[in-house]
Amino acid sequence: MKNTENKVNQLIEKINENEMDKKVTLVLSESKAEKCSPSKIEEIRQVFNTNPRVKEIFKNAINHILKEVFPNNYYAKGKYGEGEMSGIYDLEQEGRSVINKLNTNYNCFCVLLRDVNKVLASKKQPPITFQESNLFEQLNQVKRFVNVIDEYKDRIFNPDSSTFQSLMMVLGRTHAWGQKREDDTVEILKKEFGKNNVTSVGKLGSSEDMIGGIDCEIIVDDERKTAQIKPFTNTKTEDGNTIIMGAGNVKRYNTDWLIFAKNNKEILIFKNKNCKIIDGNFVFPEENLIYTLS
């Protein structure tokens, strides 16, 4: 009798697990592809820029997960072609996939966080949140986050899932916008410094961009200058410093110049010297601004 009762309980437990799996599948596949709200995106951008360890943990986990879910599309450095970096190729297009940019994209982090929390809610588990948490708690939250992503990786990165479609939509748009910003900025630089003195560097996933952070090279007075091109929304001046607002992912670069483009109507060029990162923003001594172009 006891054995029969145990078997019945096990069967009920199994049925409940199957029902929960069905709910999770629905959560990950039924809603339409969509991006996050601007306020949520800004929240994650601030986390990335003020707590780089969160971005590092996320980046390393995503790199590992993508390699596992797309084994036939993964190539080690130099294996897809000479000079090609390691990553996913021939996925949505021939050549290097935009999905390789997922690992540092705070817009996609937001999409994943939204959909993972839907799954946790369906399982009656507490959500993952980065609001009003200190730096240490943020690390605990991101570790839990990447563990859930890893648990459901085959469903999340299924081309039929809405989450995957949302990620690819966001990556496609941000890559296109970033490329247009770079192209338009390079054209303005050519007018200022001469057509033959400005060279756009690399392509999607090039070693120059990924390792050196180099978007373009400018020859000035027979001297080569390397530059990274970033967006910005506005600037503030405080205590002899210029603060750049809305620069996207903020991190240290080894280029000679940092160039900021505002809707391709205003270009600010700073010497990359004594630059600080404060509260997730680039901060330069005022004298570092060497060109203002439009």
Both structure tokens of 257: 């110049």
| Residue 258 banded pLDDT, cuts 50, 70, 90 | very high
Average pLDDT over residues 50-76: 97
- What pLDDT is recorded for position 143? 98
Domain boundaries, the chain: 35-158, 180-293
Bridge pairing between strands 223-231 and 257-262: parallel
Show the tokens assigned to 142: 């991101």
pLDDT of 8 higher than 60: no
Q: Which residues contact 146 (CB under 8 A, 6 or more apart)?
A: 57, 58, 61, 62, 65
85-109 tens-digit pLDDT: 999 999 999 999 999 999 999 999 9
Tell me, what's the pLDDT at 25?
56
Residue 29 has pLDDT above 80, yes or no: no
- Please report which confidence band the pLDDT of residue 28 belongs to, taking 50, 70 and 90 as the band edges: low
Under the banding of pLDDT at 50, 70 and 90, the label for residue 294 is: confident
Q: What are 200-238's pLDDT values in tens digits?
A: 986 665 555 555 689 999 999 999 999 999 999 999 999
Q: What is the pTM of this model?
A: 0.83
Q: How far apart are CA 138 and CA 6, in angstroms?
A: 42
N- to C-terminal Cα separation, the chain: 84
Would you tell me which CATH number, out of the four given (1.20.1070, 3.40.720, 3.90.550, 3.40.1350), belongs to the domain 180-293? 3.40.1350
